[in-house]
A and B are shown apart, each in its own frame.
Chain A
Amino acid sequence: MFDDTRPIFLQLAERIADDILRGVYVEGEQVPSTNELAAYLRINPATAGKALNLLVDREILVKRRGIGMFVTDGAKGLIAAERQQGFVQSFIRPLLAEATALGIDRAELIRLVSTEVTGTEVTSAEIAPAETPRAPAPEPEAGTP
């Protein structure tokens, strides 16, 4: 559930943010309490508390005294914005690094990405020399599912 690359409270905060992003917790809904999280995940309550407080600081959660922690209105948008900022750092750079290590050149890389985006096989001929790939007309190949 948690790995040892980063502090647990950070990983937990991310998990909860993930859940909010994907709609597991909707805006206005209550999230589990510190004690519930600690017991369920088998972690120290202070760690669970730190994670929740971090999200409160980022205005993703709000504390209602005596009741618990709730997802703020606009939390989803906030998280998405934050993630988008980190998107290049967290996903694109590692992708490029791995591609380089595997010897996948830029054109091939873009072809692979386009295939994933459109859902059907894209040939290299259809990739425009320009940076941004245009959605090409699908050309069914024999045996392609």
Chain B
Amino acid sequence: MTIAIETRGLTRVHREVRALDDVTVQIRENTITGLLGRNGAGKTTFMSLATAQDRPTSGSVSVLGESPFENARILEQLCFIRDNQRYPDDYKLRHALRAAAIFYPNWSPELAGELVELFRIPQKTIVKKFSRGQLSALGIVLGLASRAPVTFFDEPYLGLDATARTYFYDVLLRDYQAHPRTILLSTHLIDEMDRLLERVVILDRGRVVQDAEVDELRGMAHQVSGRAAAVDAYLAERRALSRHRVGGLATAVVDGPMPQGGRDAGGELEFSSVSLQELVAAYGFDGADSLGSTSDAAQASQIDRQGARS
């Protein structure tokens, strides 16, 4: 299995903010990998560094075996149309398509044409006046029709209606199968897109929280719900990723595989699996930290006491 993108201790600090913090991952060639996490988690920064549009503060990134910075041979095989991509003044659709055709040897005018029609991208309006959805559609056209060996999509669905998104997923899968390539895409629409992904990398505050196959990942956590006291007792020995409490009832997403059976013996607690979206959301929670059970329990009982008083 060849590695398309490899980072080692990749760090990017910008004005005291650690956009990426010691990130070490490997993205495999010819896979669709999802880059997930909250806004500001570092997804766009990661892609920027991988395409040498930005430079690391420390650590390294290599794409297709080499550092991408000012490396024409590697850069020619990458395509990264950002979600806020700037186009030259007065560009219209045909200029953008023509430019991409110049730079990508694998460019497919037929696929571009098909997508332009599907997305109904206007031919006569200048790109500067495109709506959010039209801009995204243009980004998708350029990204997919380029057939670049390593293609990046940064939240490509912004502003797209549900039909357009379905077209995108369909064409993405179809073209990916016909012309395999490495695709890295960041998304918040996890429920909608998780079935397109083979692997995911979850980022939180610039750090890698998970790097695994989608199926593996979902088996690594579960949800528990029931009376708050019972949930707290259950959590005493375990690590909670997130916790939600309303009155006397609580729910938590817990690290570790689900215990056998849907309910525990006493029927007090109910266990269920988590969807990928719930898991990613849980990783992004600030309430439950990674320090462990005692502080969680202490915090929980403190909230309990406050609740009892009021």
Contact = CB atoms under 8 A, between A and B. Distances in A.
Interface string A1-37: 0101111110000000000000000000000000100
Given A4-B218, A7-B218, A39-B170, A45 B273 contact: no
A109 interface: no
B31 interface: yes
Contact of A44 (B174, B195, B218, B274): B195
B195 A9 contact: no
- For the side of the interface on B, what is the size category? 20 to 34
Contacts of A4: 191, 218, 273-276
Main DSSP-derived SS at the A contact region? helix
Nearest to A7: B215
Contacts, number: 50
B133 to A, nearest CB: 21
The binding surface of chain B is classed by DSSP as helix
A88 to B, nearest CB: 14
A65 interface: no
Interface in B255-303: 272-276
B32 A44 contact: yes
Nearest to B34: A44
A47 interface: yes
A47 B216 CA distance: 12
B198 A38 contact: no
Given A38-B177, A39-B177, A44-B195, 15 more contacts: A5-B272, A7-B215, A7-B218, A8-B195, A8-B214, A8-B215, A9-B215, A35-B177, A39-B173, A39-B174, A43-B196, A44-B32, A44-B198, A46-B198, A47-B215
